[in-house]
């Protein structure tokens, strides 16, 4: 009996992700600064928020996109470390009492619950700063122009026009009616911008053509949107133990989600449509993009 292809992709990506994590985690750990002052736990908090617990999905995406262009692993691991540092910082700040006020993340106490709010704010700041320090270093890529492109691209994705802009719209959307268009803009900024950086980082590192970068960037944005729709579906249908945070939280907080706007069934068809659109951007790459295709299928079918 043959396995359903989606289930097969899911199992393959899970295995690949877990294999990747064993390679990536020591590299990421090596990027973190050493604690210089014996009495403070800044670096411990930065490490707590970054290493262990996460799936390293974004760095894995960087690796897959980098392999399409023959980029050496050290380069893609370093760019992956930068994007993971930004992702981790965004979770630390987003979990703060003034924002989402979450006490559980990846099945563990959130950073501010474990280290206190002040340390969590500073650890987040330190991680964001670290991301740019990593990218600026010559080991990331021999070409100065390429490193600068990565930096400009990450800053744009993470800043006021990207992820932070999305967080801000998210804040504004609490407890009021949000339309489908706004929810899409929000998801593409809050989640899609960083995915878009991850998918195009390989193209930047591999000095691919502008057209190829653009296609991968749009693929990442669609994948981020798909990721957010799945998040909203899991918030309703998910198993708290599996997703590692409290289910139903967004709905309780009066946050507009794709499910609250569209209803569960329509949210699921919007997910399918978004996945098809994402995969469409990969056509020019033929089978070179198979690992990216598997990731988007994995995201669409994830249960946590």
Quick one: which segment of 130-138, 197-205, 240-248, 289-297 binds its own copies (CB under 8 A)? 130-138
Evaluate whether 33 touches 130 at the Cβ level (below 8 Å). yes
Does residue 122 interact with its own copies by CB under 8 A?
A: yes
Q: What are the structure tokens assigned to 238, written together? A: 């998910």
Does residue 113 interact with its own copies by CB under 8 A?
A: no
Q: Is the dihedral of CA 172, 178, 183, 185 positive or negative?
A: negative
Angle between helix axes 5-31 and 57-67 (nearest 10 degrees) is 100
Q: Which is nearer to its own copies, 47 or 274 (CB)?
A: 47
Does residue 169 interact with its own copies by CB under 8 A?
A: yes
What whole-number distance in Å separates Cα of residue 60 and Cα of residue 54?
12
Q: What are the structure tokens assigned to 158, written together? A: 């993470």
Using CB under 8 A, which of 17, 21, 27, 42 touches its own copies? 42
Q: Which is nearer to its own copies, 39 or 241 (CB)?
A: 39
Does residue 119 interact with its own copies by CB under 8 A?
A: yes
Q: What are the structure tokens assigned to 172, written together? A: 């504004």
Q: Alpha carbon of 112 to those of 45, 91, 97: distances in Å? A: 9, 11, 9
Per-residue x/- track, 261-300, its own copies (CB under 8 A): ----------------------------------------
Using CB under 8 A, which of 17, 21, 27, 43 touches its own copies? 43
Does residue 132 interact with its own copies by CB under 8 A?
A: yes
Which residues, 6 or more positions from 263, have their beta carbon under 8 angstroms from its beta carbon?
none
Using CB under 8 A, which of 5, 22, 98, 175 touches its own copies? 98
Per-residue x/- track, 136-165, its own copies (CB under 8 A): xx------xx-xx--xx--xx-xxxx--xx
Evaluate whether 80 touches 24 at the Cβ level (below 8 Å). yes
Does residue 75 interact with its own copies by CB under 8 A?
A: no
């Amino acid at each position: 009996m043959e396995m359903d292809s989606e289930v097969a992709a899911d199992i393959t990506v899970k295995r690949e992700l877990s294999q990747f994590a064993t390679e990536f985690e020591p590299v990421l750990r090596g990027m973190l600064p050493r604690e210089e002052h014996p009495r403070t736990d800044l670096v411990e908090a930065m490490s707590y928020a970054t290493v262990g617990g996460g799936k390293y999905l974004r760095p894995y995406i960087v690796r897959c996109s980098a392999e399409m262009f023959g980029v050496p692993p050290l380069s893609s691991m370093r760019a992956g470390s930068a994007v993971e540092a930004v992702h981790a910082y965004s979770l630390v700040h987003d979990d703060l009492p003034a924002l989402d006020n979450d006490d559980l993340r990846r099945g563990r106490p959130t950073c501010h619950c474990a280290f206190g709010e002040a340390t969590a704010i500073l650890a987040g700041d330190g991680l964001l700063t670290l991301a740019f320090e990593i990218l600026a270093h010559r080991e990331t890529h021999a070409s100065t122009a390429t490193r600068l492109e990565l930096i400009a691209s990450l800053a744009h994705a993470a800043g006021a026009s990207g992820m932070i802009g999305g967080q801000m719209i998210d804040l504004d959307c609490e407890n009021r009616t949000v339309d489908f268009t706004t929810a899409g803009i929000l998801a593409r900024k809050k989640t899609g911008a960083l995915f878009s950086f991850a998918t195009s980082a390989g193209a930047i590192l591999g000095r691919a053509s502008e057209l190829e970068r653009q296609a991968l960037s749009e693929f990442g944005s669609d994948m981020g949107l798909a990721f957010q729709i799945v998040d909203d579906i899991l918030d309703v249908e998910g198993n708290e133990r599996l997703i590692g945070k409290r289910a139903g939280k967004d709905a309780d907080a009066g946050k507009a989600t794709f499910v609250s706007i569209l209803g569960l069934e329509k949210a699921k068809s919007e997910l399918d449509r978004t996945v098809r659109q994402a995969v469409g951007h990969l056509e020019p790459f033929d089978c070179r993009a198979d690992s990216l295709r598997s990731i988007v299928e994995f995201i669409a079918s994830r249960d946590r």
